[in-house]
Amino acid sequence: MEKNKISCPIEYSVALLGGKWKLPIIHALVRNDVVRFKELERMIAGITPKMLSMQLKSLETDGLVERTVYATVPPTVEYKLTEVGRSVKPMMNELEKSGLYHQSLTK
């Protein structure tokens, strides 16, 4: 379903942030402010460069991530959250707290 046809805000958020890789990418950007592509690739275990590139393009299209390219050889590309992207920081903090709590219950 297209995001612009979703009226429920929860469904819209899930459509925007859903999938295996978007939340780990956003989490890495929340924690590190500005990150280069290769650094992101190292931070997110199991992600391929192609998948990282696709997910970053999607997040950029949705206005959550800003991409800056520097004219160096080879080109340097940095990513950071936009103002809209930073608005998910409180949710990310709560997800992290919830995850830590549930992990502690299973130890």
Q: Kind and range of the H or E element at 76?
A: strand 76-81
Q: Which of 37, 72, 33 is nearest to 56 (CA)?
A: 37
35 SS3 class: strand
**How many independent structural domains does the chain possess?**
1
Q: Kind and range of the H or E element at 102?
A: helix 89-105
Q: Kind and range of the H or E element at 59?
A: helix 49-61
What is the extent of the structural domain holding 65? 3-105
Q: For the domain that residue 50 is a member of, what is the CATH number?
A: 1.10.10.10
Digits of tens for pLDDT over the chain (107 positions)?
A: 466 677 888 888 888 898 899 999 999 999 999 999 999 999 999 999 999 999 999 999 999 999 999 999 988 999 999 999 999 999 999 999 999 999 999 87
Confidence (pLDDT) at 2: 67
